[in-house]
Amino acid sequence: MSAMKKMSLNKGLQKLVQNIGELGHYLWERGWAEKNAGNISVEVTDLIEKRGQAFDDYPKVKREISEPICGGRCFFVTASGSRMREIADRPEEKMIMMYICDELDGYRVLWGGEAGARPTTEFASHLKLHSFLFENNPSQKAIVHTHPSHLIALTHIELYCEEKAINRLLWSMHPELKMFLPEGIGLAPYRCPGTDELAEVTLTALQEHRIVLWEKHGCLATGVDVMEAFDLIDMINKAAQIFLLCRCAGYEVQGLSESQIKELKNRFGDFTQ
Ligand code: 13P
Ligand code: ZN
pLDDT score recorded for residue 273: 39
Catalytic residue among 103, 122, 158, 263: 122
Is there a contact between 72 and 102 (Cβ–Cβ < 8 Å)? yes
To the query of whether residue 122 is one of the catalytic residues in this protein, the response is: yes
Task: For residue 75, give every residue at least 6 positions away whose Cβ sits within 8 Å of its Cβ, in sequence order, or none.
Answer: 41, 42, 43, 44, 97, 98, 100, 126, 130
Q: How far is the CA of 264 from the centre of ligand 2 (A)?
A: 33
pLDDT of 272 higher than 50: no
Atom of ligand 1 at shortest distance to CA of 145? 8
Give the model confidence (pLDDT) of 125-170 as tens digits. Answer: 899 999 999 999 999 999 999 999 999 999 999 999 999 999 999 9
Q: Is the CB of 38 under 6 A from ligand 1?
A: yes
Rounded Cα distance between 101 and 55, Å, is: 9
> Does position 2 have pLDDT exceeding 60, yes or no?
no
Residue of 72, 91, 83 lying closest to 33 (CA atoms): 83
CATH superfamily of 148-268: Class II aldolase/adducin N-terminal domain (3.40.225.10)
Q: Where are the alpha helices (DSSP H) in the chain?
A: 11-29, 91-94, 123-136, 149-154, 163-173, 176-180, 196-206, 226-248, 258-268
The predicted model gives 244-259 an average pLDDT of 94
Mutate to test the pocket of ligand 1, among 122, 147, 201 (most ligand atoms within 8 A of CB): 122
User: Does the predicted TM-score (pTM) go above 0.85?
Assistant: yes
Compute, in angstroms, the gap from residue 35 CA to the centroid of ligand 1.
9
Atom of ligand 1 nearest to the CA of 39: 4
Q: What is the C-alpha separation between 250 and 188, in angstroms, rounded?
A: 30
Contact 80, 52 (CB under 8 A): no
- Distance from the CA of 192 to the center of ligand 2, in angstroms? 10
Q: What is the location of CATH 3.40.225.10 in the chain?
A: 11-122, 148-268
pLDDT score of 264 more than 90: no
Whether the predicted pLDDT of 31 surpasses 90:
yes
Q: Which of 27, 28, 35, 36 to mutate to test the pocket of ligand 1 (most atoms within 8 A of CB)?
A: 36
What pLDDT does 124 receive? 87
Tell me how far CA of residue 128 lies from CA of 94, 160, 266, in angstroms. 22, 27, 35
Q: Tens digit of pLDDT for each residue in 50-98?
A: 777 889 999 999 999 999 999 999 999 999 999 999 999 999 999 999 9
Contacts for 230 with CB less than 8 Å, ≥ 6 apart? 23, 26, 27, 144, 221, 223
pLDDT top residue among 1 and 259: 259
Q: 100 and 107 in contact (C-beta within 8 Å)?
A: yes
Q: Residue 99's pLDDT is what? A: 97
Task: Judge whether 211 and 232 are in contact, CB under 8 Å.
Answer: yes
State which H helix or E strand residue 212 sits in.
Answer: strand 211-214
Instruction: Give the per-residue pLDDT at 270.
Output: 61
Q: Hey, which of 39, 86, 94, 212 would you mutate to test ligand 1's pocket, going by the most ligand atoms within 8 Å of its Cβ?
A: 39
pLDDT in tens, 226-242: 999 999 999 999 999 99
Residue 3: band (very low, low, confident or very high) from pLDDT cuts 50, 70, 90: low
- In whole angstroms, give the CA distance from residue 26 to residue 135: 30
Could you tell me if the CB of 80 is within 6 A of ligand 1? Answer: yes
| pLDDT digit string, tens, across residues 171-208 | 999 999 988 888 999 999 999 999 999 999 999 999 99
The dihedral built from the CA positions of residue 267, 268, 269 and 271, taken in this order, carries a sign that is negative
Is the Cβ atom of 195 under 6 angstroms away from ligand 1? Answer: no
Q: Do residues 175 and 169 lie in contact, with contact meaning Cβ atoms separated by under 8 Å?
A: no
DSSP 8-state class, residue 103: T
* Ligand 1 atom closest to residue 36's alpha carbon, by position in its atom list: 2
What is the CATH number assigned to the segment(s) 11-122?
Answer: 3.40.225.10
Average pLDDT for residues 17-36, to the nearest whole number? 98
Nearest Cα residue to 76 out of 115, 32, 107, 30: 107
